[in-house]
Amino acid sequence: MKKFILCVIIFILAFARLSAADFFKEAKRNLNAALKSGNVEQVRKSADQVAVANDKNAFKFLKTRLRAVNKINDGVYWALLNAIGRFNNSEVLDEIAEFILKNKKSSLGQDALFIMKSKHSNKVLNLLKTVLGDGTDELRILALEHLGVIQTKESVKTIINFLATVDLEKKPLVIEKASEILYSLTGKNMGSDTESWMKWWSENKDRSDDIVAKPATARGNTGTVVDYLDYSRSVSYVDLKKIPPDKIIVVTGDCPRCSENKKTKVSHDFDRIQKVLAEMQIPHTTVPKNDFNRNSYKLDDKIMILFNCNFFKRHCACPTCETGSKSAERTFQCVGCEEHDHYENILSNEAIKKIQDYVSRGGYIFTEDWVIEEVLERAFRGIIRHSKYHPASNVTILPSRGGSTHPYLKGVFERPASQVNNKSGAGATQAVKLALKVGEGKWKIDEDSPDIVVQNPKLVEVLMVAPELVDKKTAGANGVVAVTFSYDQGRRMVSTGRGKKVNSGGRVLHVLSHFGKQDVNDDELALQNLLLNFLIEAGRSGGPTKNKK
């Protein structure tokens, strides 16, 4: 009887192994077929099936497919990386760490480390330790932020041990980030004083209670991204709220001719960025375009300028005209009268020069949608432009390759599932840990939104893309959704912390589509994150320098 039972067990185990092997072979065949067809959804499903094996062979197979990185589209690229992010086998995680370091100076290594942020357990600690030891500064900062999300005693120990190995003078940004994360985890503020941290750890490591501070509570019920900020951005957000309202301005598309003729305020805005800022509780002032056009309106003390997407093209301002059928580019034919009062509510050439000078001296501007035509193509020629208008659509948004580590994308692809009750106080809420969801976010594009064509890739950093928008016929139209660039009239090139050469002036951030248009709140939070990160950096910059003569 015992022999019979043993035989049955052996048979079951052998059958299970055979079934697992067959499943893996089938998953590999399916993935190869999906890659050949270019079907992103099938690639995602098949790659996830391969990752189920959770062993070295599965990782090796996915890794070889990623080596053809230039031959696959961005959707396929991130589908394969997402599958790699599913491994939790310690031996495989060691190989992933080796893979990251082998590609540490390329977008592939950066994005592979970014995708591991989907793991919030101690299983990924050895991987992060390896990156801290031999990674680039950019990868080290990402690893430190990941340790801050894990929020365990072991993550505290890892950072303190790392501090003891770093030259404080040669790695100021890395040290600053390590100190910041330690403060957020422990509530102790000892800066970069390694000896004090080591002493504190020695005295507290054996405590039975958890030495890690409780996660920061949500900052309120605003319904915006500020309800889910980590410690670092919470501090920066508080500083941002202290800026006087007149330092951050939103330029609106109020039409003076239409308002005068119709005896009431007429706005041609397609968006209301001021409403978003108000919900995020960020001080600001709205400035009608007509006031902004005046030579007397100065920008010297402005920290940031945001432009609402608006209708600036030639239209009829006659008070008796009525809207007829649509012709093109959001333009409506006027009916109801024979004499038309045609008017173009556009920023003047003098205002464009003012904007160009402002950014050149260190100012920050945020633009969206049609503002690429009204402002960017006129003020910053040869950097980005548009070539056509998109039809209305819903597209998948992804980080650009290597863009996942950009400071402006912090939190953009991390979505809070919900808020949970915080037992520490009646009625209080606490934001749950953010979940990394690359490839699940959608972007709603309005009809007639201008595409984004990168003319000068040496100056422009592409932040986000949508594979559905790629236009193979137009050079530079690679499905771009968000870009940033630095501008200085003198073209003085400087090196940044991202290892790239950029101009030493201010910065421009441009996005496709608008606020308040996304179908899902998580997708709206993605755009809010992008804006908030830009605002935080602008606040730290302090605004433009005085005029250069």
* Confidence band of 469 (pLDDT split at 50, 70, 90): confident
Domain that holds residue 171: 122-213
- Per-residue pLDDT tens for 74-109? 999 999 999 999 999 999 999 999 999 999 999 999
Q: In this structure, are 132 and 183 located in the same domain?
A: yes
Average pLDDT for 57-61: 93
- Per-residue pLDDT tens for 154-192? 999 999 999 988 877 778 888 889 998 898 888 888 888
Between 498 and 527, the more confident residue is: 527
Q: In this structure, are 170 and 230 located in the same domain?
A: no
Residue 398 counted as domain residue:
yes
Closest Cα partner for 506 from 486, 492, 520? 486
Alpha-helical regions (H) of 169-296:
172-186, 194-204, 231-241, 256-262, 273-279, 289-293
Between 263 and 480, the more confident residue is: 480
Task: Give the domain CATH number at 362.
Answer: 3.40.50
Q: In this structure, are 177 and 239 located in the same domain?
A: no
Count of the separate structural domains present in the chain: 2
How many other C-beta atoms lie within 10 A of the C-beta of residue 322? 12
* Confidence band of 285 (pLDDT split at 50, 70, 90): very high
Q: In this structure, are 176 and 237 located in the same domain?
A: no
Residue 535 above 70 pLDDT?
A: yes
Residue 5 counted as domain residue:
no
In degrees, rounded to 5, the angle at the alpha carbon of residue 518 between the alpha carbons of residues 516 and 522 is 105
Between 248 and 345, the more confident residue is: 248
Q: In this structure, are 479 and 411 located in the same domain?
A: yes
Place of tokens 């985890």: 185
Kindly give the pairing relationship between strand 506-511 and strand 364-368: parallel
- Per-residue pLDDT tens for 3-35? 555 554 554 444 445 466 777 788 889 999 999
Place of tokens 């100065």: 298
- pLDDT computed for residue 217 by the predictor: 46
Separation between Cα atoms, residue 162 and residue 194, nearest integer Å? 10
- pLDDT computed for residue 440 by the predictor: 80
Separation between Cα atoms, residue 181 and residue 159, nearest integer Å? 8
Residue 81 counted as domain residue:
no
Task: Name the token pair of 39.
Answer: 């079907």
Residue 95 counted as domain residue:
no
Q: In this structure, are 470 and 384 located in the same domain?
A: yes
Q: In this structure, are 448 and 518 located in the same domain?
A: yes
pTM score, two decimals? Answer: 0.86
SS3 for 483-538 is: EEEEECCCCCEEECCCCCEEECCEEEEEECCCCCCCCCHHHHHHHHHHHHHHHHHH
Residue 309 counted as domain residue:
no
Residue 298 counted as domain residue:
no
Average pLDDT for 22-49: 89
Residue 20 counted as domain residue:
no
Name the percent of the chain lying above pLDDT 70.
Answer: 83
